[in-house]
Each structure stands twice: as C-alpha cells, then as structure tokens.
Structure 1
C-alpha cells in the first residue's frame, strides 16, 4: 500500500472513530433526554411528534455549530488584525464589496461553510495565523461545553434540554473533526493546515498569498493583474503540503486568465504528475481545465472522454454553480457534441449563475473565454 493511501486510510479511520464517539454521546444523552422528557401519552402521534422535534433540533444544532465555527474564524481573525472578506454557510455567501455587504451564492465541495479574511500587512511570513485557523474549533468546543453546563441546570425543561444536549454533541464533534489533523473528503481540515503552518515556514507565506489573492479577487481584481511572482512556487517546494501546492494550482488559473492556454495546460499537467497527495478537489479542477484545453485545441473526442469520466461528471454536477464549469460545458456542447440547443441552455445557466456569483473578475474572464469559444465555432 502506498504512503498516500495509508495516510488516507488513517484519516478515514480517525474520522470514523470521531463519528462513533459522536454517536455514543448522542445515544447516552439522547436516550437520557428522551427518557426524561418524552411526554407520558398513550397517543402514538404525540410521541412520534416529540421524536420528530428531537430530529429537527439535531439538524438545527448542526447548522448552529457550522455558523459558530465560521464565526470563530472571524472573531479570532479580527483579534489578530485580519479584515473581513466573505462569510459562507452552505451556498449562502456574504461578501464585502466597496464597504457594503452583499449576498451572493457559492459552494465548495466538501465544505459546509467558510470565513475568508484579508491577512495583516507584513512581509508575508511573520503574521498571526494559528489562532485564525483554530478559531472555529475553539468556538465549537466553547459553545458545546457551555451548553453542557446549561443542560445540567435546565435538564427538566424538555425541549430546551434537548437543544442544549444536541449543541454539546455537535460542538464537541465539530471541534474534533476540525482540530485533529486530517484530510476529510479530499479536503485538508484546520488542524492539518495548522500543523503545516507550525512545521513549514514556507507554508505560512503560501497561506498569506492565498488569503491576499482571494481578498483582491473579491474586489473584482483579475488574477492576471496581480504580480506574477505571487503565483510562482518556491525552489525545492514541498509539494506534498496542500498550503504550498495550492499556489501551483493558482498559477494554472493565473495563466488561464492571461489566455496563455498552452502554458496553462503544461502547468496543469505538471501539477498532476509531480504533486504527491494533491487534494482531490484540486485534481478535479485541473482535469476540468485539461478537458477544456483539448476541446479548444485538437478536440479529439477519445481524448476528451478520457477526462470526462463518471467521477468527473459527478464533480462537474456538484460544481454547476461555478461560472467556469458552465463555460466548460458550453464548450463541450457547442464544439464536441455540436448541439446548439444544449449549448444555449448552458449559456442561459451561465448567465443565471453570474447574477449571484461573488467574483466579478472571474465572470468577466469567463465571458471573454466564451467569446473565444464562439470564434472557434464560427471558424
């Protein structure tokens, strides 16, 4: 078994043990709450309704802890000198644009939310980043322990005690899942990134660059307008580190925005071939762009279908809210399938996504590429 597969299995096992722990806590406290709070009624409907309420409270508590987790990142980031950029729960996203908070729609596969901030001005290496990374887990465990304390005070109040117990369970669970260094669903968690930041000085700089680039992108700045050196991997870079190889992936996007598709293709292939342990979400993004470069290049259907696997089709569907994905499928329908009806549907979908998309510069870039696709179709 390869070293990467062993690490992946370890991460899966640890995550599984945490879920077992959550289940155990849920069984112990949940059984206690049901036993103490279930109304003594001979009417099955009343009992079923009460159990349904417990399920609703569990879902509510989960979303409360997601919000608290991201709020923790914000609070600890703010205390460390960061500035607010965006706050996302599920697909609902709030972005700071020209000193105003605007509502947008966005989603990242494998994440329930995300709070992004602009890092403090510095040399790009020496800045507070540990508390910002672990702030979410600290907030989860703090609320969880507070709810446990309140539960012992209000254990005889049926619905309130249920909500408090659920928040305790999910608070502890979220804290463990995010603070213990793991890769879950192909995404490095906060604990994994924190460990990288402690061990690798270069990783701190790569994180600073990512946050700085994202902050500028949120203001409408295009990647091609940023300094080229920001997208250059350092010599002898540890490409196994997700915080470092992320810049390599961003370099592909930088070249793509400059319309240097040949260089972008080479960069994508280099990242896929030379980066052990590259996160699956990055691999899927690179495969999508390589598929696109083949479509606007030699357009060999057999080569395109090598990229267009069942796994990638699922990823494309899961990221249908990305303007880049709509552009890819527009090119696929127009240039590969020669289906103008489906191509127009993709174009309509692109415009619908663009209305609520948080990154205006990316929308502008994709509009330019769609014009190029149209020129290929007419030639």
Structure 2
C-alpha cells in the first residue's frame, strides 16, 4: 500500500511540474510580448508560433537524438514525426505511416554492439533536449532582431522558442512520465545501472531487428534476458520482459506465455501503463480463445481497456483483440468491419515479421472461436 501511494504521489508531482512549466512558459511569452509593445495584439501571433513551434521543435528534438546517436556509433532505423515515418530496410529508405499514442515523434536507432563495460547512452539521450535549448537561443536572437521592424514576427519567434524551451525542459529534467523514463532520466541513470543499460540496449536492438523483418521467435534468446535474470521491477526492465512474453506467444508456447503474463500483471505499478493494458487485453483475447467467453468479454469491455484500444487503434494486435471480442459477442457487422480493417492495417504495418506473427495468431483465434461456436 505504501509503495502504491508513493507511485501515485510521484505521478501527481510529475504532472504538477509539467503544468507549472506550461504556465511559466505562457507567462514568459506574455511578458516578452509586452516588452516589444504587443501586449494586446500578441495572442494570435503567439498561438501561431506555438503551433508551428511544437511541430518544428519535435523535428529538432528527434533530429538531436539522430545526430548525437549517429555520432556515437548508433545506426539509423526510423525517424517519425506525427504519423509519418521514414524507415531504413535492406539498405533503402522508405516512407510509411505509424502512430504511437502519447508521442509527437520518435527517432529509433540501432545501438552499437553490446559490451559488458557498457555503450554510449549519455549523448544519444540528451541530444534531443540539447538541440531544443540551442534553438531557444537562436529564437531569442531572432526576437531581438525583429522586435522593432516586425513585432508580429518577433511574437511568432517567441512562440517557437517557448515550444522549444518547454520540450527541452520536459524531456531534459529527469522524470518518469506515465511510468516511462524520459531522456534526462535515462541519461542520468543508465550510466550507473548496468541492468537498465542492458534493458535499454535490448529494446533498441530488438526494434531494429523487427524493422528488418525478423520475428521475435527468430531473435537470439539472450537479448530477452537481463543480467542476473533481473526482474521487471521498473518500466525499463519490464519492457524487456514484455518482449519475452511476446516472443513466447510467437513461438506458440502459449502455456508458458500465460504463466508469464499472469506474473507480469501482478507487478502492479512496475510496468509502463501501455504494457500493463496490452497484457490485460491479451488476457481477454486468450480467455476468448480458451472458451472463457464471459470472462474475456468482461476484461475487454472494461472502460480502461476500451480507452486503451481506442488510443492504440492503428496497432494490428489491438485491432485483432477488438475483432475477436466483436465476433465472440455475436456482433457480426462490427466483426466484419474490424476484420477488413485488420487486413488493411497489417498490409501497412512497418514491421513485416510482426505482421506475419499477427496473421498466424489471427488464424488461431478464428479457429478457436469457430470451435467454441460449434460447441454451443
């Protein structure tokens, strides 16, 4: 109970800090606008600057990760802004669509080969916030340059600079947001904790292998095992354990996967929220497949899981869960719609090996649900 209260308090303080940073940025913007004589007319230009600024600053932030990562031995895998993602596969660059709820962009690189003595993590993690802060200085210089000749343009640069300041601080101050460590937290702690550093390496390496088309079952098993077989006692390590669970599913080792899923779901507050909900959705799916229809529908019909599925609506694995629930509930039209959408999403999914695994699981789901319907 004490640990649960501590987790809730920590999350509350994190969001209070983020809110205060936003309020401080707004106050700073209004003050600067007043300084250049546009206190009453500045709002539209500040808003325009902020809207453009967040888009620009996300690109700069992810570009910072890219530049500092490549400079320290990482390899390019993907670069995403919004839902538009540039990937590299078989030595060629390709454009595709991919959206991850809660993120405006993401740069994922392949890590250098693992070494027991460690690998570079500091520059890669802090490269994003650093570029944001550099852009703030540049925006400040442009505000000074245009404050007399074009106050409206100066206000736009204020907005762009404030967006950079906000993103730099939110990502640079060591925090855990929704359970996940941010760039500053990683830069501060990964160098001190060899187990977390290995977990960080494993996530990047597994993602890079999946982008090349490899399935989880074909990736070396040792990538899914932390030093000393460390447990999922924080979101960073927990992510590797969730990968281990998904690998068991891909291997068809369903009983072992079920046991591990149950173990992970008992790690209350230690997994990232996205992983916690994904495992619960899987629990509901496998309940349906094993003939526990009412139990599975109860899980998948809960408000938390339904909200999670809406947020992750572009993920084929989640669409599969929704399709299975609709079919098990006898909602034929909805099931047909979701089935067609699933095929479309699988064709566009940037991870071809993962798409193949989902298609195999889909066939198993349909077979098991058909068998359950015949018994009724």
TM-score under structure 2 length normalisation: 0.91
Whether 1:143 and 2:135 are equivalent positions in the alignment is: yes
Q: Is residue 73 of structure 1 aligned with residue 70 of structure 2?
A: no
Query: In the TM superposition, what whole-angstrom CA distance separates every residue of 1:187-215 from its partner, at most 9, and x where no partner exists?
Result: 32112222330221111112111111110
In the alignment, structure 1 residue 152 sits paired with structure 2 residue 144: yes
Cα contact 1:291–1:308 (8 A) shared by 2:
no
Given that 2:238 and 2:270 are in contact with CA atoms closer than 8 Å, whether structure 1 keeps it comes out as no
Q: Map of 1:256-295 to 2, 5 A cutoff?
A: 256-274=249-267, 276-295=269-288
Q: Distance in 2 between matches of 1:170 and 1:240?
A: 34
CA, structure 1 residues 39+243, in 2 after alignment: closer, same or farther (shift >3 Å)? closer
In the other structure, the counterpart of 1:235 is 228
What is the aligned counterpart of 1:201 among 194, 200, 222? 194
| Compared CA separation, residues 137 and 299, structure 1 to 2 (3 A) | same
- Once the two structures are TM-superposed, the CA of residue 185 in structure 1 deviates from its matched residue by 3.0
Q: SS where residue 147 of structure 2 aligns?
A: coil
Shift of the 200–170 alpha-carbon distance from structure 1 to 2, 3 Å rule, reads same
2:77 is matched with: 85
Distance 1:104 1:5 in 2: 42
How far apart are 1:14 and its partner, in Å? Answer: 4.2
> Match of 1:113?
105
* Post-superposition offset of 1:238: 5.2
Gaps of 5+ in 2: 372-376
CA distance in 1, matches of 2:262, 2:299: 14
Greater displacement, 314-323 / 190-199: 190-199
Structure 2: distance between partners of 1:356 and 1:298: 31
The answer to whether structure 1 residue 126 and structure 2 residue 118 are counterparts is yes
Q: Is the 8 A contact 1:196 1:241 kept in 2?
A: no
Q: Does the 8 Å contact 1:124/1:209 carry over to 2?
A: no
Matched pairs, number: 370
Asked whether the equivalents of residues 118 and 212 of structure 1 are also in contact (C-alpha less than 8 Å), the reply is yes
Matched, 1:247 2:228: no
Partner of 1:189: 182
CA drift at 1:307: 4.9
Counterparts of 1:253 and 1:183 in 2: how far apart (Å)? 24
User: Structure 1 residues 22 and 329 mapped into 2: Cα distance closer, same or farther (>3 Å)?
Assistant: closer
| Structure 1 Cα separation of the partners of residues 28 and 226 of structure 2 | 50
Query: Following the alignment from structure 2 to structure 1, what is the Cα–Cα distance between the partners of residues 23 and 39?
Result: 24
Shift of 1:163: 2.2
Gaps of 5+ in 1: 41-46
3-state SS of 2:228 partner? coil
Alpha-carbon separation, structure 2, partners of 1:18 and 1:129: 25
Matched, 1:5 2:5: yes
Task: Give the distance between the partners of 2:121 and 2:66, measured in 1 at CA.
Answer: 12
CA contact (8 A) 1:61 1:166 kept: yes
Alpha carbons 1:257, 1:365 under 8 Å: kept: yes
Q: Give yes or no for contact 1:240–1:275 (8 Å, CA) kept in 2.
A: no
Residues in 2 aligned to 1:167 and 1:123: alpha-carbon distance in whole angstroms: 40
Q: Write out aligned runs for 1:346-357 (5 A).
A: 346-357=338-349
Q: What's the CA shift for 1:20?
A: 2.4
